[in-house]
Amino acid sequence: MRWKKVIISTLVLSLMGGSLLFADSVSQKVGLWINGQEVQDGGYMINGKTYVPIREFNGVVDWSSENNEVKFLKPNVHIFLFKGDTVFGNVNKGKLKFNVFSQVDGLTSNISSVKVAITDPSGSMLDIQSQDLSSDQKDNFWFRTYDFTYDFKTTGKYSIGFYIKASKNAEYQLVAQKIITALN
């Protein structure tokens, strides 16, 4: 009787080990880099297809558990920075009065509001301006902020982000950004 238990236990453990090895060969973790930055969770290769986390691609992600589907919204957004009537990209340390002009096209779904914010090299974000949008939207529009004075206190890369809120109860999602380098 004891030999039967030993043989059955050995057989069960062998099958479990083989299943784990097979599962590992079917699903393989892969490194994921987006614009020179490694994504913490990476992606997976399953049966020859690569699967990556869609939230890492700077767009609005809408998951419907009822329909078991994901909707991804990423319009084309072009960001221009103006100091008066002059377009700029890099700045010197110190205070600067400027405004942000965003051109949005390819919008395939109605959205609730937009926001422009600046993030300093340490990761601190400050909202520049937001605006609720009307329900009679078009697939393209322009959004220009009021003149805004900001103190570029340290040298480094600052990010101007354009955010979309899909619905009134949703969070803002980054869909585009422009990098400003503050020089000495």
What's the pLDDT score for residue 65?
87
What's the pLDDT score for residue 13?
65
Among 162, 80, 67, CA closest to 114: 162
Which residues partner with 72 through β-bridges? 61
Distance CA 52, CA 74 (A): 16
Using only the alpha carbons of the chain, give its radius of gyration: 24
What's the pLDDT score for residue 154?
95
How does pLDDT run across 9-46, given as a tens digit for each residue?
665 666 665 545 444 556 788 888 887 888 888 888 98
Token pair 């390819």 in the structure block, residue? 106
What's the pLDDT score for residue 35?
78
What's the pLDDT score for residue 135?
73
Q: What token pair was written down for 28?
A: 């393989």
What's the pLDDT score for residue 5?
65
What's the pLDDT score for residue 83?
95
What's the pLDDT score for residue 25?
53
Q: Quick check: helix, strand or coil at residue 166?
A: coil
Question: Could you say which residues of the chain have pLDDT below 70?
Answer: 1, 3-26
Taking every pair of Cα atoms in the chain, the longest distance, rounded to a whole number of angstroms, is 91
Of how many residues is the chain composed? 184
Q: What token pair was written down for 132?
A: 């609720």
Q: With beta carbons less than 8 A apart as the criterion, state whether 161 and 176 touch.
A: yes
Distance CA 31, CA 52 (A): 10
What's the pLDDT score for residue 14?
64
For the entire predicted model, the pTM comes to 0.77
Name every residue whose Cβ is closer than 8 Å to that of residue 46 and which is 6 or more positions away in sequence: 26, 27, 28
What's the pLDDT score for residue 97?
97
Which residues partner with 125 through β-bridges? 119
What's the pLDDT score for residue 30?
87
What's the pLDDT score for residue 7?
63
